[in-house]
Structure 1
Amino acid sequence: MTEKARRPLPHDFHPPVASFSVESDDVAPGGSLKQDQVFAGGNTSPQLRWSGFPEGTKSVAVTCYDPDAPTGSGFWHWTVFDLPVSVTELPAGAGSGSFPGLPSGAVHVRNDYGTRDFGGAAPPPGDGEHRYVFTVYAVDAEKLGVDADASPAVVGFNLRFHAIGRAQLVGTYEVPAEG
C-alpha cells in the first residue's frame, strides 16, 4: 500500500489563539497509544493534565479526533465540555464507564461510534498510521451553550468562536494489514 496523504489537523483552519500545555501519563507526543486507549483493548480515555491557560478562561473542553479516518470527514472519538475552570486534570477512564473523576456538570456528546463517552482507536487493518489529536480548549464562557444532543461538529463550531486558548497532544495508532 502506498503512503496516504496526511490530512490537516482540525485546528489548521481556525484563527490563532493562545497556547498552553497539555501532558499525559498515558499518551506520549507522537508515540503510539497504549492498548487501554484502543477500542478493542480497553477503550479507556487517557489521563490528561493541562496548565498555563489564558486569563479569561471560564471553562474547559476536551476532544479526541482522528483526521486520518477513511471517512472524508475524520472521526470524533471524544467530546466533553463545560468542565469547570478549576479542573486541570482528568484521570484515566474519566471519559469511560462510570466516568470516574469527571466533574459534575460536564457534558458528553455522542462520538462517531454513537455513544456518549470516549471511544478508543480502531483504524482499519492496513490503513496505515492514524493520528489521535487530544485537544484541550480554554473557553471564554462557563457554559458552551449546547447540550448533549449536539454533534461534535456543532460543539466544534461553538468552540471555534469561544476558544481563547488551545493545547493539543497527538498520539498515533496503526493496525497492520491482515495476512
Structure 2
Amino acid sequence: MINDDPYAAVTPAPPLRVFSDDLVDGAEMPLTFRDPDIGGTNSSPHLAWADFPAETKSFAITCYDPDAPTGVGFMHWAVANIPATVTALPVGAGAPDGPMPEGSLTLPNDLRMRQYIGANPPPGSGRHRYVFLVHAVDVPVLEIDPDLTPVVLGFNLHFHTLARGSMTVWVDSAG
C-alpha cells in the first residue's frame, strides 16, 4: 500500500501502532462514520495507539482526505494536546460534546467546525482515502490559537513529533 502519511516527506518519524474496534486498515469506512447526508452519523470511530516512545508527553490526531478535489486535500478532524496517559478515544469522541480528554484541543476542520465530520466525497470524484494519523508529541501542550486551522497544527507537529502511525480507510464517491 502507498504511504498515506501526508507528513512523511517533510517530517519523517518512527512508527507507532494505530488500531480500531471500528475500522480495518485498507478496508471500506463503515457507513456510521460518514456524513449524515449519505446515511452516516458524523460519529468518530474508536481509535487506539501503542508502541510510542517513552518520552511522549502528549498526542495529536488528524483525519485527512488526500483525494479531495481541492489540490490540498481536506481535513476532517484535528485534535492536539491529548494527555500522554490517554491511549484510546471512544466512538463519538469527535462530536461537539464528545468525551474528549480534559485539556485536549479540537481545532476547526476545513468546514470550520470543531468536531469530526464524516466522509462524503463529491459525486464523480472517485475513490477517497481517509487517513487517521496519531502523532506522539514531545511536549504536553502545543501552544496553538484555538481558532487557527489544522495547517498550523501540522506546522507545529513538524517540530515536535516523536513518532507517528496511521490507519487508512476508503469511501467511493457517488455518481
Q: If the length of structure 2 is used for normalisation, what is the TM-score? A: 0.93
Aligned partner of 1:116 in structure 2 is 114
Q: 1:126 is matched by which residue type in structure 2? A: G
Q: 1:106 to 1:29 in 2, by over 3 A?
A: same
Aligned partner of 1:34 in structure 2 is 30
Give the SS at the match of 1:160. helix
Residues in 2 aligned to 1:103 and 1:133: alpha-carbon distance in whole angstroms: 22
Aligned partner of 2:80 in structure 1 is 81
Q: Does 1:59 align with 2:29?
A: no
Give the SS at the match of 1:56. coil
Equivalence map 1:135-154=2 (5 Å): 135-154=133-152
Mark the runs of 5 or more structure 2 residues left unpaired by the alignment: none
Give the SS at the match of 1:18. coil
Q: Does 1:95 align with 2:86?
A: no
Aligned partner of 1:24 in structure 2 is 20
Mark the runs of 5 or more structure 1 residues left unpaired by the alignment: 1-5
Equivalence map 1:153-172=2 (5 Å): 153-172=151-170
Residues in 2 aligned to 1:33 and 1:8: alpha-carbon distance in whole angstroms: 16
Residues in 2 aligned to 1:116 and 1:130: alpha-carbon distance in whole angstroms: 22
Aligned partner of 2:42 in structure 1 is 43
Moved more, 91-100 or 73-82: 91-100
Give the SS at the match of 2:144. coil
Aligned partner of 2:124 in structure 1 is 126
Superposition CA RMSD, Å: 1.5
Q: 1:91 to 1:8 in 2, by over 3 A?
A: closer
Q: 2:57 is matched by which residue type in structure 1? A: K
Moved more, 134-143 or 14-23: 14-23
How many angstroms does 1:15 deviate by?
A: 2.9
Conserved? CA contact 1:133–1:170, under 8 Å: yes
Conserved? CA contact 1:57–1:140, under 8 Å: yes
Percentage identity across aligned positions? Answer: 44
Residues in 2 aligned to 1:149 and 1:108: alpha-carbon distance in whole angstroms: 9
Q: If the length of structure 1 is used for normalisation, what is the TM-score? A: 0.91
Residues in 1 aligned to 2:106 and 2:4: alpha-carbon distance in whole angstroms: 25
